Structure 1
Protein backbone atom coordinates (compact mmCIF):
# COMPACT_ATOMS: atom_id res chain seq x y z
CA UNK A 1 0.00 0.00 0.00
CA UNK A 2 1.29 3.42 -0.93
CA UNK A 3 0.76 5.51 2.22
CA UNK A 4 0.95 8.76 0.23
CA UNK A 5 -1.92 7.70 -2.04
CA UNK A 6 -5.09 9.55 -1.18
CA UNK A 7 -7.62 7.26 0.47
CA UNK A 8 -10.37 8.27 -1.98
CA UNK A 9 -8.20 7.23 -4.94
CA UNK A 10 -7.60 3.89 -3.23
CA UNK A 11 -11.32 3.44 -2.42
CA UNK A 12 -12.27 4.13 -6.03
CA UNK A 13 -9.83 1.44 -7.19
CA UNK A 14 -11.07 -1.01 -4.52
CA UNK A 15 -14.68 -0.43 -5.58
CA UNK A 16 -13.83 -0.86 -9.26
CA UNK A 17 -12.03 -4.12 -8.49
CA UNK A 18 -15.22 -5.50 -6.87
CA UNK A 19 -17.40 -4.67 -9.87
CA UNK A 20 -17.92 -7.85 -11.85
CA UNK A 21 -21.24 -7.11 -13.56
CA UNK A 22 -22.99 -8.65 -10.54
CA UNK A 23 -21.59 -7.27 -7.26
CA UNK A 24 -22.30 -3.62 -8.08
CA UNK A 25 -25.98 -4.39 -8.73
CA UNK A 26 -26.53 -5.78 -5.23
CA UNK A 27 -23.75 -4.33 -3.08
CA UNK A 28 -21.70 -1.17 -2.85
CA UNK A 29 -20.28 1.69 -0.83
CA UNK A 30 -22.48 4.26 0.90
CA UNK A 31 -21.32 7.49 2.49
CA UNK A 32 -23.98 9.63 4.14
CA UNK A 33 -24.25 12.43 6.67
CA UNK A 34 -25.38 12.24 10.29
CA UNK A 35 -27.34 14.91 12.12
CA UNK A 36 -25.04 15.21 15.14
CA UNK A 37 -23.09 16.26 12.77
CA UNK A 38 -20.90 13.67 11.15
CA UNK A 39 -20.60 10.94 8.55
CA UNK A 40 -21.73 7.34 8.22
CA UNK A 41 -20.01 4.79 5.99
CA UNK A 42 -21.17 1.34 4.96
CA UNK A 43 -19.06 -0.82 2.68
CA UNK A 44 -20.56 -4.14 1.68
CA UNK A 45 -18.15 -7.05 2.02
CA UNK A 46 -20.32 -9.87 0.68
CA UNK A 47 -18.75 -11.53 -2.37
CA UNK A 48 -15.44 -9.72 -1.81
CA UNK A 49 -12.12 -11.02 -0.51
CA UNK A 50 -13.01 -9.43 2.84
CA UNK A 51 -16.18 -11.43 3.43
CA UNK A 52 -15.87 -13.28 6.73
CA UNK A 53 -13.10 -11.07 8.10
CA UNK A 54 -13.81 -9.24 11.34
CA UNK A 55 -12.87 -5.64 12.09
CA UNK A 56 -12.73 -5.38 15.89
CA UNK A 57 -14.90 -2.46 17.01
CA UNK A 58 -12.98 0.75 17.59
CA UNK A 59 -14.44 3.73 19.44
CA UNK A 60 -12.35 6.86 19.72
CA UNK A 61 -13.70 10.13 21.09
CA UNK A 62 -11.37 13.11 21.20
CA UNK A 63 -14.03 15.83 21.44
CA UNK A 64 -17.66 16.54 20.56
CA UNK A 65 -16.85 16.84 16.84
CA UNK A 66 -13.66 14.73 16.67
CA UNK A 67 -14.64 11.08 17.01
CA UNK A 68 -14.82 7.80 15.13
CA UNK A 69 -16.46 4.41 15.58
CA UNK A 70 -15.77 1.52 13.20
CA UNK A 71 -16.85 -2.14 13.16
CA UNK A 72 -18.04 -4.99 10.95
CA UNK A 73 -21.48 -6.56 11.11
CA UNK A 74 -23.97 -8.03 8.65
CA UNK A 75 -21.18 -8.65 6.11
CA UNK A 76 -20.37 -4.92 5.99
CA UNK A 77 -17.75 -2.54 7.28
CA UNK A 78 -19.41 0.32 9.17
CA UNK A 79 -18.04 3.62 10.39
CA UNK A 80 -19.56 6.68 11.99
CA UNK A 81 -17.45 9.73 12.64
CA UNK A 82 -17.28 13.43 13.27
CA UNK A 83 -17.58 15.99 10.47
CA UNK A 84 -13.80 16.18 9.90
CA UNK A 85 -13.04 12.46 10.35
CA UNK A 86 -14.28 10.93 7.10
CA UNK A 87 -10.78 10.50 5.67
CA UNK A 88 -9.67 8.86 8.93
CA UNK A 89 -12.62 6.44 8.80
CA UNK A 90 -11.86 5.49 5.21
CA UNK A 91 -8.17 5.09 6.06
CA UNK A 92 -9.14 2.60 8.80
CA UNK A 93 -11.00 0.59 6.17
CA UNK A 94 -8.09 0.79 3.73
CA UNK A 95 -5.53 -0.41 6.29
CA UNK A 96 -7.77 -3.27 7.42
CA UNK A 97 -8.67 -4.24 3.84
CA UNK A 98 -5.07 -4.33 2.70
CA UNK A 99 -4.05 -6.42 5.71
CA UNK A 100 -6.89 -8.92 5.08
CA UNK A 101 -6.88 -9.22 1.29
CA UNK A 102 -5.08 -12.25 -0.10
CA UNK A 103 -2.18 -11.31 -2.35
Structure 2
Protein backbone atom coordinates (compact mmCIF):
# COMPACT_ATOMS: atom_id res chain seq x y z
CA UNK A 1 0.00 0.00 0.00
CA UNK A 2 1.32 3.45 -0.94
CA UNK A 3 1.96 5.49 2.20
CA UNK A 4 1.47 9.03 0.89
CA UNK A 5 -1.65 8.59 -1.25
CA UNK A 6 -3.91 11.66 -1.20
CA UNK A 7 -6.88 11.22 1.15
CA UNK A 8 -9.47 11.89 -1.57
CA UNK A 9 -7.76 9.42 -3.90
CA UNK A 10 -7.78 6.89 -1.05
CA UNK A 11 -11.54 7.30 -0.50
CA UNK A 12 -12.24 6.96 -4.23
CA UNK A 13 -10.05 3.85 -4.43
CA UNK A 14 -11.73 2.35 -1.34
CA UNK A 15 -15.16 3.06 -2.83
CA UNK A 16 -14.21 1.46 -6.15
CA UNK A 17 -12.94 -1.63 -4.33
CA UNK A 18 -16.36 -2.07 -2.67
CA UNK A 19 -18.31 -1.85 -5.94
CA UNK A 20 -19.27 -5.39 -6.90
CA UNK A 21 -22.48 -4.91 -8.85
CA UNK A 22 -24.59 -4.92 -5.67
CA UNK A 23 -22.96 -2.90 -2.89
CA UNK A 24 -23.00 0.41 -4.78
CA UNK A 25 -26.79 0.21 -5.27
CA UNK A 26 -27.45 0.52 -1.54
CA UNK A 27 -24.26 1.97 -0.08
CA UNK A 28 -21.56 4.54 -0.75
CA UNK A 29 -20.31 7.77 0.75
CA UNK A 30 -21.66 11.29 1.11
CA UNK A 31 -19.95 14.63 1.56
CA UNK A 32 -22.25 17.42 2.71
CA UNK A 33 -22.17 20.83 4.29
CA UNK A 34 -23.11 22.24 7.68
CA UNK A 35 -24.73 25.61 8.32
CA UNK A 36 -22.25 26.77 10.95
CA UNK A 37 -20.33 26.45 8.33
CA UNK A 38 -18.51 23.21 7.72
CA UNK A 39 -18.55 19.76 6.18
CA UNK A 40 -19.95 16.31 6.89
CA UNK A 41 -18.65 12.93 5.74
CA UNK A 42 -20.55 9.66 5.91
CA UNK A 43 -19.08 6.40 4.60
CA UNK A 44 -21.24 3.29 4.64
CA UNK A 45 -19.38 0.30 6.10
CA UNK A 46 -22.09 -2.35 5.78
CA UNK A 47 -21.19 -5.04 3.29
CA UNK A 48 -17.57 -3.86 3.09
CA UNK A 49 -14.44 -5.28 4.71
CA UNK A 50 -15.06 -2.67 7.44
CA UNK A 51 -18.55 -3.96 8.26
CA UNK A 52 -18.98 -3.81 12.04
CA UNK A 53 -15.69 -2.02 12.74
CA UNK A 54 -15.88 0.78 15.28
CA UNK A 55 -14.08 4.00 16.02
CA UNK A 56 -14.55 5.85 19.28
CA UNK A 57 -15.06 9.58 18.78
CA UNK A 58 -11.88 11.49 18.05
CA UNK A 59 -11.96 15.27 17.92
CA UNK A 60 -9.63 18.16 17.37
CA UNK A 61 -10.26 21.79 18.21
CA UNK A 62 -7.51 23.99 16.93
CA UNK A 63 -6.69 27.65 17.45
CA UNK A 64 -9.13 29.29 15.04
CA UNK A 65 -12.83 29.20 15.96
CA UNK A 66 -13.80 27.40 12.75
CA UNK A 67 -10.78 25.05 12.78
CA UNK A 68 -12.23 21.87 14.31
CA UNK A 69 -13.24 18.35 13.34
CA UNK A 70 -14.52 15.09 14.85
CA UNK A 71 -14.93 11.52 13.56
CA UNK A 72 -16.55 8.33 14.89
CA UNK A 73 -18.56 5.33 13.77
CA UNK A 74 -22.31 5.11 14.22
CA UNK A 75 -24.94 2.81 12.69
CA UNK A 76 -22.24 0.90 10.78
CA UNK A 77 -21.01 4.12 9.13
CA UNK A 78 -17.90 6.23 9.48
CA UNK A 79 -19.01 9.77 10.36
CA UNK A 80 -17.14 13.03 10.33
CA UNK A 81 -17.95 16.69 10.87
CA UNK A 82 -15.61 19.64 10.66
CA UNK A 83 -15.13 23.32 10.05
CA UNK A 84 -15.03 24.90 6.58
CA UNK A 85 -11.27 24.33 6.22
CA UNK A 86 -11.30 20.76 7.55
CA UNK A 87 -12.75 18.56 4.81
CA UNK A 88 -9.25 17.23 4.10
CA UNK A 89 -8.90 16.37 7.82
CA UNK A 90 -12.07 14.25 7.66
CA UNK A 91 -10.82 12.41 4.59
CA UNK A 92 -7.41 11.88 6.19
CA UNK A 93 -9.03 10.57 9.38
CA UNK A 94 -10.95 7.98 7.32
CA UNK A 95 -7.80 6.98 5.44
CA UNK A 96 -5.75 6.70 8.64
CA UNK A 97 -8.47 4.72 10.44
CA UNK A 98 -8.76 2.23 7.56
CA UNK A 99 -4.99 1.83 7.47
CA UNK A 100 -4.88 1.26 11.24
CA UNK A 101 -7.18 -1.74 10.80
CA UNK A 102 -4.87 -3.48 8.30
**TM-score normalized by structure 1?**
0.92
Residues matched between the structures, number: 101
Distance 1:8 1:93 in 2: 10
Cα deviation code 1:52-102 (max 9, x no counterpart): 11111012211321000110010000000011111111111111112224x
Distance 1:24 1:99 in 2: 24
2:71 corresponds to: 70
Which 5+ residue runs of structure 1 have no aligned equivalent? Answer: none
1:43 corresponds to: 43
| Displacement after TM superposition at 1:41 (Å) | 0.4
1:17 corresponds to: 17
Distance 1:98 1:7 in 2: 11
1:93 corresponds to: 94
Distance 2:94 2:10 in 1: 11
| Displacement after TM superposition at 1:4 (Å) | 2.4
CA RMSD of aligned residues (A): 1.1
**TM-score normalized by structure 2?**
0.93
Superposed structure 1 runs of 4+ greater than 6 Å apart = none
SS of 2:92 mapped into structure 1: helix
Which 5+ residue runs of structure 2 have no aligned equivalent? Answer: none
